[in-house]
């Protein structure tokens, strides 16, 4: 049995198709001066072929995945046709007297190595994109055959060292049941695409390609993070039964799609979705989300070589607001820095980027970025229910400054005759201990809070959850974290305001009833989790949840809190 990182949920059964990539063999023989021009021509010919292929892949991605995901390949094309990259390759070819394949491979390897060494998860995973582009370029220069995964004509579970975004976009979804890879992370473009395609996938297994052969019968259980190789009949029967149960559960949960998240004794909350692009609105609507609690706008800033214009942002935000048809969309301003970098912003290298120049700190220093985004947000607010919130706030001074900026921009738009919502709600992401402790003061300044439990937990516990040596210490159920959450909720209610939560904890069934009892007003999560959380809320009395929370908040350890919740769920037959 093999496990890895579940990238996209589901259970599928089928024969393995192991992708064996044709190895690139480079001829390192030095070329003569009179061969240089011919090799440069070879480079341009290979690049033209690669560009033609990527254009085709982009068009296919647009048809199957939508405009936002197709934009990934616009970024690939920009890199491939980048003038600096072209100059570096040709300069290396001329100065080192090597052929075009060697020169392109050397320069691409240098860029991949540079990105891989940066302590930044987003950039490390973008190194895979550069490698993908480079391999395609070199293969075309060498005249090698490039496999088109759209040509797969038998039902298969793909097994590969890695699947690049371009390969994922080519998959024949009528035949490819799911995929498993040796490497990869949950936030890679390939994993994001798998979720958009609702294609079961497990990545980062380390060695699945060494353990599986083409033709092996596999069970890919991306719900429980297990891959069975040539399973026994008993295992097949067990997983078939689980699959049927999941299908039945999904059908039952679908019945809740248009029902409100209200407890048995009439206490109503909102269960909404986290999104990153317009494409995600489809999943939010399909799963019955009552709105959007976190619209991550930074995706609009990624995979491009310059900032999006005000007009580009306005169109993107307007499209999302209209797609949610009158339900509230809470938009978070650009959250760049920390684990997300934009090469064209030339962000400084920092010893600790999570405590550095990121999110609202960049926006307040780079006012042109802030103003363009907020003007676009205000203009989009004329087309539906839209609220704006700011990440990484630590003080009342920051929010007052931001409110002043919004006031100035409103005046600008009025003078230009452009419509906007005069009463647009303004909120704060509570993800620093400072914001949580200052909640009683911040609540007087804003219309709502949204608790980002991922960062709030990291900062409160001083634990980098990406550090394998200490990641076991990361637990949002620690009394210190829960105490801050309760403090924030109470502070907002004291001022007649509301509090949502958009971190992973909001979609964690173990925490749902605890948060409900603590008074949380809005639960925002991945769209796929919405029906299950709705069902749980609709299965209990609010008074019971409140008593559970009151008891839990008196416990001194996370384990005792977790045991208490498990006992409650078991007693009510809810687990």
Write out the E strands in 146-260: 156-160, 176-181, 201-203, 217-221, 226-229
| Active-site option among 42, 189, 267, 281 | 189
The crossing angle, in degrees rounded to 10, of helices 509-518 and 542-552 is 100
In contact, 453 and 482? CB cutoff 8 Å:
no
Whole-angstrom distance, CA of residue 476 vs CA of residue 458: 9
Annotated binding residue 375? no
Q: Dig out the tokens for 116 from the structure.
A: 């891989």
b vs e for 407-442, b when ≥16 Cβ sit within 10 Å of the residue's Cβ? eebbeeeeeeeeebbeebbbbbbbbbbebbbbbeeb
- CA–CA gap between residue 210 and residue 493 (Å, rounded): 56
Using DSSP bridges, classify how beta strands 217-221 and 226-229 pair: parallel, antiparallel or unpaired. antiparallel
In three-state secondary structure terms, 98 is coil
User: Is 502 marked active-site?
Assistant: yes
Tell whether residue 47 is among the known ligand binding residues.
no
Of the residues 42, 76, 267, 502, only one is catalytic, namely 502
Active site residue 472: no
Q: Which of 82, 79, 92 is nearest to 40 (CA)?
A: 92
Residue 49 CB-half CA count within 13 A: 18
Q: Does residue 421 contact residue 386 with C-beta atoms inside 8 Å?
A: yes
CA gap 404, 401 in Å, rounded: 5
Strands 201-203 and 176-181: parallel
3-state secondary structure 11-43: EEEEEEEECCCCCCCCCCCCCCHHHHHHHHHHH
If you ran DSSP here, which 8-state letter would residue 171 be given? -
| Residue 255 to residue 249: CA distance in whole angstroms | 10
Please check if 167 is assigned to a binding site.
Answer: no
State both tokens at 249: 């559960």
**Was 206 annotated as part of a binding site?**
no
* CA dist., res. 404 & res. 501, Å (int): 26
* Among 460, 544, 464, 450, residue whose Cα is nearest residue 492: 450
Structure tokens at 464: 């980098």
Q: What is the DSSP string of 333-364?
A: P---BTTB--GGGTPPP-S-GGGSS-THHHHH
Tokens at residue 444, please? 């007087």
User: Would you call 463 helix, strand, or coil by DSSP?
Assistant: coil
What span, in angstroms and rounded, lies between the C-alpha atoms of 170 and 172? 6
> Is 60 marked as a binding-site residue?
no
Q: How far is CA 181 from the centre of its chain?
A: 19
CA nearest to 569, candidates 509, 482, 528, 481: 509
216 marked ligand binding residue: no
- As given in the structure block, the two tokens for residue 60 are 């296919």
Binding residues for Mg(2+): 431, 455
Binding-site residues from annotation for phosphoenolpyruvate: 296, 332, 454-455, 465
Supply the residues annotated as catalytic: 189, 502
Annotation: binding site: 296, 332, 431, 454-455, 465
């Amino acid at each position: 049995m093999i496990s890895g990182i579940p990238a996209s949920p589901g259970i599928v059964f089928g024969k393995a198709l192991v992708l064996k990539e044709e190895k690139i063999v480079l001829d390192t023989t030095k070329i003569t001066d009179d061969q240089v021009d011919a090799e440069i021509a070879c480079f341009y010919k290979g690049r033209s072929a690669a560009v033609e292929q990527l254009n085709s892949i982009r068009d296919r991605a647009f048809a199957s995945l939508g405009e936002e995901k197709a934009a990934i390949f616009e970024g690939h094309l920009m890199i491939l046709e980048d003038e600096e990259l072209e100059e570096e390759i040709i300069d290396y070819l001329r100065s080192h007297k090597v052929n075009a394949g060697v020169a392109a491979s050397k320069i691409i390897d240098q860029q991949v190595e540079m990105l891989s060494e940066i302590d930044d998860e987003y950039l490390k995973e973008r190194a895979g994109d550069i490698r993908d582009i480079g391999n395609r370029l070199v293969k075309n220069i060498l005249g090698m055959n490039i496999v088109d995964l759209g040509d797969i004509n038998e039902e298969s579970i793909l097994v590969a060292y890695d699947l690049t975004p371009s390969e994922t976009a080519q998959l024949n979804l009528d035949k490819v049941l799911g995929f498993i890879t040796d490497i990869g992370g949950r936030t890679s473009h390939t994993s994001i695409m798998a979720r958009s395609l609702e294609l079961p996938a497990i990545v980062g297994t380390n060695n699945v390609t060494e353990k599986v052969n083409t033709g092996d019968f596999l069970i890919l259980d991306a719900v429980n993070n297990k891959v069975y190789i040539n399973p026994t009949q008993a295992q097949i029967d067990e997983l078939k039964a689980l699959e049927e149960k999941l299908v039945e559960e999904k059908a039952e949960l679908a019945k809740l799609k248009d029902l409100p998240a209200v407890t048995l004794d009439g206490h109503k909350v909102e269960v909404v979705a986290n999104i990153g692009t317009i494409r995600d609105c489809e999943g939010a609507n399909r799963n019955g989300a009552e709105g959007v609690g976190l619209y991550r706008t930074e995706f609009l800033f990624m995979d491009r070589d310059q900032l999006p214009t005000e007009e580009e942002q306005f169109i993107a935000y307007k499209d999302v607001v209209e797609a949610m048809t009158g339900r509230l969309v809470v938009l978070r301003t650009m959250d760049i820095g920390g684990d997300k970098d934009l090469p064209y912003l030339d962000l400084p290298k920092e010893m600790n980027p999570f405590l550095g120049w990121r999110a609202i700190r960049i926006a307040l220093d780079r006012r042109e970025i802030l103003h363009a985004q907020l003007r676009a947000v205000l203009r989009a607010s004329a087309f539906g229910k839209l609220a704006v919130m700011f990440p990484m706030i630590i003080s009342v001074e920051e929010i007052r400054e931001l409110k002043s900026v919004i006031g100035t921009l409103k005046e600008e738009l009025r003078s230009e005759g452009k419509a906007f919502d005069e009463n647009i709600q303004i909120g704060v992401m509570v993800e620093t201990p400072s914001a949580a402790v200052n909640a009683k003061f911040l609540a007087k300044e804003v219309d709502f809070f949204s608790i980002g439990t991922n960062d709030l937990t990291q900062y409160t516990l001083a634990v980098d959850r990406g550090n394998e040596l200490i990641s076991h210490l990361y637990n949002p159920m620690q009394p210190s974290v829960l105490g801050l959450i309760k403090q924030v909720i109470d502070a907002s209610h004291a001022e007649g305001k509301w509090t949502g939560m958009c971190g992973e904890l909001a979609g964690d069934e173990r925490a749902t009833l605890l948060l409900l009892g603590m008074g949380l007003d809005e639960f925002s999560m991945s769209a796929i989790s919405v029906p299950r959380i709705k069902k749980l809320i609709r299965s209990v009395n609010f008074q019971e949840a409140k008593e559970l929370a009151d008891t839990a908040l008196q416990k001194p350890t996370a384990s005792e809190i977790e045991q208490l919740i498990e006992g409650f769920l078991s007693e009510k037959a809810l687990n």
